[in-house]
Structure 1
Amino acid sequence: MNAGILSLWGVWDTVYQRCTRLQYVDKGKNIFRIVLLRYRGEVLTTSDGRQIHPGDLIIKLHIHNYHLATMFQGIKNDTRMVLLLRRHVLESLPQLAAYVASLPQSEQIKGIVGTTMLYKGAEQLGFTVSEVPLTIFFRYKRWYLKLMIRLIHPDGHKRLHHHQNLALTRVYMSKEELLKRYLPEGSGIGLS
Structure 2
Amino acid sequence: MNASLLTLWRYWDWLYQHCTRLQYVEKGNNIFRIVLLRYRGETLVTTDQRTIQNGDLILKIHIHNYYFATLCKGITNELRIALLLRRHIMLSLPKLAAFLEKLENKEHIKGIVGTTMLYKAVEPIGFTVSDVPMNWFFRYKRWYLRLMLRIIHPDGKRKARSMDLEQPLKRVFMSKEALLERYGSKQYRPTGDGL
Q: What TM-score, normalized by structure 2, do the two folds share?
A: 0.93
Displacement of 1:12 in angstroms is 1.4
In structure 2, distance between residues paired with 1:137 and 1:18: 19
Residue 36 of structure 2 aligns to which amino acid in structure 1?
Answer: L
In the aligned structure 2, how far is the partner of 1:71 from the partner of 1:112?
Answer: 24
> Aligned with 2:80: secondary structure?
helix
What's 2:169 paired with?
A: 168
Q: For 2:49, what is the secondary structure of its paired residue? A: coil
Aligned identity (percent) is 62
Deviation (angstroms), 1:161: 2.6
Say which SS state the counterpart of residue 55 (structure 2) adopts. Answer: coil
Contact 2:127/2:174 (<8 A) preserved: yes
Separation (CA, whole Å) in 2 of partners of 1:17 and 1:141 = 15
Q: State the Cα distance separating 1:33 from its structure 2 match.
A: 0.2
Shift of residue 15 of structure 1? Answer: 2.1
Q: Could you give the per-residue CA deviations for residues 8-47 of structure 1, whole angstroms, max 9, x where no partner exists? A: 1011111221232100000000000000000000000000
Aligned twin of 2:99: 99
TM alignment of 1:137-156, pairs within 5 A: 137-156=137-156
Q: Which runs of 4+ in 1 moved over 6 A?
A: none
Give the equivalent residue in structure 2 for 1:39: 39
Letter in 2 for 1:126: G
Partner amino acid for 2:172? Answer: V
RMSD: 1.3
Q: Where in structure 2 are the equivalents of 1:31-70 lying within 5 Å?
A: 31-70=31-70
Residue deviations 1:133-179 (CA, integer Å, cap 9, x gap) = 11111111111111111111121001123332221000000000000
Match of 1:181 in 2: 182
> How far, CA to CA, are the matches of 1:143 and 1:20 in structure 2?
17
What amino acid is aligned across from residue 170 of structure 2 in structure 1? Answer: T
- Counterpart contact for 2:94–2:183, Cα < 8 Å: yes
SS of equivalent to 2:40: coil
Report the Cα distance in structure 1 between the residues aligned to 2:35 and 2:97, rounded to whole angstroms. 14
1:4-153 map, 5 Å: 4-153=4-153
Aligned to 2:193: none
- TM-score, normalised to structure 1, is 0.94
